[in-house]
Amino acid sequence: MLIIDCPYCGKRDEAEFHYGGEAHIVRPENPSELSDEAWAEYLFMRSNTKGRFLERWVHSEGCRRWFNMARNTANNEVEAVYLMGETPPKEVSK
Amino acid sequence: MKRYSIFSLVRNAVSHHKDWPKAWRSPDPKAEYDVVIVGGGGHGLATAYYLAKNHGITNVAVIEKGWLGGGNTGRNTTIIRSNYLWDESAHLYEHSLKLYEGLSQELNYNIMLSQRGVLNLAHNQHDLRELSRRISANRLNGIDSEFLTPADIKNMVPLMDVSPEARYPVMGASLQKRGGVARHDAVAWGYARAADDRGVDIIQQCEVTGILREGGAVTGVETTRGTIKAKKVALAVAGHTSMLAQMADVRLPITSHPLQAMVSEPVKPALDCVVMSNAVHGYISQSDRGEMVMGAGIDTMTGYTQRGALPVVEELQRAIVCLFPSFSRLRLMRQWGGIVDTCPDASPIVSKTPVGGLYVNGGWGTGGFKATPGSGWVYAHTIARDEAHELNAPFALERFTTGALIDEHGAAAVAH
């Protein structure tokens, strides 16, 4: 069971949260000009890292707000929590 | 290869079973192979076998980091069926099921296939409509599939609670009689023995640490037992497909998740078919040893922990106990997890890649075991001819660019 430190509510058990997948995937600025390959990259291709992974979570049964988290996917250690729109803290940025 | 038979059993009984020959050699890796298959699970071993048998390519090595069938081949709930919705999947899984039906004889290895029937339950009106559609689609594809009413289900599975008061009312089910279970280890071992007999080198305890390339094509692999040159490299590594592909800078639309299974203490025969329910995220059958084998949905977060999270265990047990109230008295004996690699459309990728001579077989998600023979068959064809077999052509990597996805979330997402 993960204990996730929601930046708005504090530490809660993982069952209160929903997972939102890889973080920092930016929606293309000019979708109409995008090639099929670039669409595929944006929609489907994921880094699927084993180790430190930057991802999005939502505290769906609490404040219902989204935030970012750095977690090690090999051992589930939560290394950092930071707000949407923020860049990852220095200690977890690659 | 010394054939297994009633006579060899008697002969070896006389010598107290001390003289059985090894089922396969364990050679040191050669300096070069025509094909190196990375991953000694069912899919990799089946691929090696069909490369040798169907295409005459025997200068092949299967390289395995741990031991044969120690990954998802040995961690799944062994369910086999082919009742998929779309034509592309139905053809592929049905080919696989047909191969399974003759596999014990073909490999001279008892894979303990038990076609005991697979039930897929419907719990609400939407489930019922989806189920009817799938049954019709299956029958149009020549796959046996029939509808059961709650009364039929009660008759077939007396322990299931099909009363209208049930927490998850059972409103109907599809039945594929040819579906069932098989011994998962035996599938890997049978293919390994038969591939070895045709000259394939099976190399265990050897981890691939890099994929060598020159001018956009593979030239071999770097391993913990040295460099091995290869004209072609074929990945069959289930949960770690992305990581291996990364070594050759190939991006994949795959995310890996833990998938859990667990067994109860063994009891007398009580359940003689496979029961699956997508809506409540659970599937159950009884093993030959008497344990109730239960499988769950995936952990939603990306992960490589081969254990899984506790909330999923609770969710699964809630579902099973609601369906089978008497099973609440059983104690859980073991629980484990495997890493499954899932695709956005819940269909696999069996394909060439942008790197010449590099092939990928992955993204089977939660349901790769049932596909083992068919997957090996079409993957061997793809590797040998450097072009897809008609059965796996729709499962190419390009479908994520063209948009021709094969959405099997209804038939594959949870259950396997």
pLDDT in tens, A16-49: 999 999 999 999 999 999 999 999 999 999 999 9
CA distance linking residue B284 with residue B295, whole number of Å:
7
How many domains does the structure of chain A reveal? 1
> Which residue out of B242, B302, B315, B318 would a mutagenesis test of the A interface target, given it has the greatest number of A Cβ atoms within 10 Å?
B302
Closest listed residue to residue B160, CA positions, set B279, B312, B285, B265: B285
Is B402 within 8 Å of A55 when comparing Cβ atoms?
Answer: no
Determine the structural domain holding residue A12 and report its residue range: 3-83
Tokens of A25: 């995937």
Q: Is the pLDDT of residue B97 over 50?
A: yes
Residue showing tokens 């209804």: B410
Q: By the 8 A CB rule, do B296 and B313 touch?
A: yes
State pTM to two decimals: 0.95
Residues of chain B contacting residue A45, judged by C-beta atoms under 8 Å apart: 251-253, 400
Residue A66 lies in a domain: yes
Per-residue pLDDT at B297: 86
Residue A93 lies in a domain: no
Task: For residue A23, give the CATH number of its domain.
Answer: 3.30.2270.10
* Per-residue b or e along B33-49, where b marks 16 or more CB atoms closer than 10 Å to that residue's CB: bebbbbbbbbbbbbbbb
Q: Is the pLDDT of residue B416 over 80?
A: no
The number of beta carbons lying within 10 Å of the beta carbon of residue A31 is 10
Distances (CA, A) of A34 to A27, A41, B397: 11, 11, 19
Give me chain B's average pLDDT, please.
95
Residue in A closest to B252 by C-alpha? A45
Percent of chain A scored above 70 by pLDDT? Answer: 99
> Which residue out of B339, B347, B401, B405 would a mutagenesis test of the A interface target, given it has the greatest number of A Cβ atoms within 10 Å?
B401
Q: What is the mean pLDDT of residues B275-299?
A: 92
The number of beta carbons lying within 10 Å of the beta carbon of residue B314 is 12
Q: What is the mean pLDDT of residues B267-290?
A: 94
Residue A94 lies in a domain: no
- Residue B257 to chain A, least CA–CA distance (Å): 9
Residue A58 lies in a domain: yes
Residue A47 lies in a domain: yes
pLDDT digits (tens, 9 = 90+) for A45-94: 999 999 999 999 999 999 999 999 999 999 999 999 999 999 999 888 76
Q: Give the pLDDT band (50/70/90) at residue B309.
A: confident
Residue A55 lies in a domain: yes
Per-residue pLDDT at B411: 64
Per-residue pLDDT at B415: 46
* Per-residue b or e along B217-249, where b marks 16 or more CB atoms closer than 10 Å to that residue's CB: ebbbbebeeeebebbbbbbbbbbbbbbbbbbbe
Q: Is the pLDDT of residue B412 over 80?
A: no
Is A40 within 8 Å of B400 when comparing Cβ atoms?
Answer: yes
Q: What is the mean pLDDT of residues B145-172?
A: 95
Residue A48 lies in a domain: yes
Handedness of CA B416, B410, B153, B263 (dihedral sign): positive
In the three-class reduction of DSSP (H, G, I as helix; E, B as strand; rest coil), residue B311 is classed as: helix
Q: By the 8 A CB rule, do B251 and B245 touch?
A: yes
Residue A23 lies in a domain: yes
